[in-house]
Amino acid sequence: MAEKKPINWQNVTTVFSVAILVGTELIGLTWAAAWAIGGLLELPAIFRTGIEVFGVVAGAYGLYHFVKAALKVEPLRG
């Protein structure tokens, strides 16, 4: 049976911290942009909310791919 490498806590902390920072900025940016677009176009509240939800989902999708790429550079074990 293969031995598991120990967890590198410095990499865990780095990836976790950057994920919080980038996630806050990315989701906040997409949410605010969706809110601004809805307000500029004077859309009804239901459409503005739909655009905001789409923005948050797009931001979360981007964050997922960012963390996936960060884990290739900063492996948690090793």
> Quick check: is 10 in a domain?
no
Q: Tokens for 24, please give them.
A: 């806050």
- pLDDT value, residue 25: 92
Q: Determine which helix (DSSP H) or strand (DSSP E) holds 34, and give its type and residue range.
A: helix 9-40
Q: pLDDT for 8-54, tens place per residue?
A: 899 999 999 999 999 999 888 988 998 899 889 999 989 989 988 99
Q: Is residue 6 part of a domain?
A: no
* Residue span of the structural domain in which 66 resides: 15-73
> pLDDT value at position 10?
93
Report the pLDDT averaged over residues 43-69: 91
Give a yes or no: residue 27 inside a domain. yes
Predicted confidence (pLDDT) at residue 58 exceeds the cutoff of 80: yes
Per-residue pLDDT at 2: 66
Is position 47 within any domain? yes
Counting the structural domains of the chain, the total is: 1
Instruction: Give the C-alpha distances (Å, rounded to integers) separating 8 from 1, 12, 29, 68.
Output: 21, 6, 31, 17
Within a domain: 4: no
Locate 66 and state its tokens.
Answer: 């960012």
Amino acid of residue 45: A
- Cα(78)–Cα(76) distance, integer angstroms: 7
Give the amino acid at 5: K
pLDDT at 55: 86
